[in-house]
Structure 1
Amino acid sequence: MAMVYSEKYLEQVLTKEVKKLGGLALKFVSPGVAGVPDRIVLLPNTRIVFVELKAPGKKMRPLQLKRKGQLEALGFKVYCIDSIKAINDFIREVME
């Protein structure tokens, strides 16, 4: 059976893994705009992606899905991560 981790723990692992790539996973807060992703991930070579972290099995709320759509319409990638496997998949994808 897979281990179940808290959203906070997943956020810590993501931040550590992004740092290993030479990037930053900054807490993203946008006063006056609810539903933005938890982290803005800045990677070498001017790559910027957004990450919403969720406890395992939890889904994005309708407002979060709306913000995801808005960011994607602008050309940004938005990931929803809810497991260590999802973090590993994310790291593999952004390294390509």
Structure 2
Amino acid sequence: MATSKLREKQVEARIVKRAREHGGTAYKFTSPGRRAVPDRILVVPCFDMIPFVEAKRPGEVPTPSQEREHKKLRNAGAVVFVVDTYEKIDWMFEQLCNGACK
């Protein structure tokens, strides 16, 4: 499938698939009463951390409210990734499994 035709749902499905391939889980993150939280929380054995992931359609960027939420999480020491292609997802897993995101 051409990257430009990917939907956000397909990007999220790839995140879930890659987490399972690494023996982990990509939890769907919802927070009642709080909008703009990242889509997924990754819990994967080879990671040295538990990152948050925002999935987007190719070329899309987080909304201003999502950016504010990501900034709050990062300021608290969390790692937040924004991915919009399969290649970025694969890169993210490579970085996390190799401990490059410490």
For normalisation by structure 1, the TM-score amounts to: 0.92
Deviation per CA, 1:62-93: give whole Å up to 9, x if none: 11001101111111100000001111111101
Which position in structure 1 is the counterpart of 2:73? 71
The Cα shift of 1:21 comes to 1.1
Q: Would you say the 8 A contact 2:3–2:58 is kept in 1?
A: no
Gaps of 5+ in 1: none
Which position in structure 2 is the counterpart of 1:61? 63
The Cα shift of 1:47 comes to 2.4
How far apart, in 2, do the equivalents of 1:91 and 1:68 lie? 19
**Runs of 4+ deviating beyond 6 Å:** none
1:23 aligns with 2:27: no
Deviation per CA, 1:12-71: give whole Å up to 9, x if none: 111010111111101000001111000011122662100000001111001100110111
CA RMSD in angstroms, aligned pairs only: 1.3
* Greater alpha carbon shift after TM alignment, 82-91 vs 42-51: 42-51
Q: How many residues align?
A: 95
Which position in structure 1 is the counterpart of 2:38? 37
Gaps of 5+ in 2: none
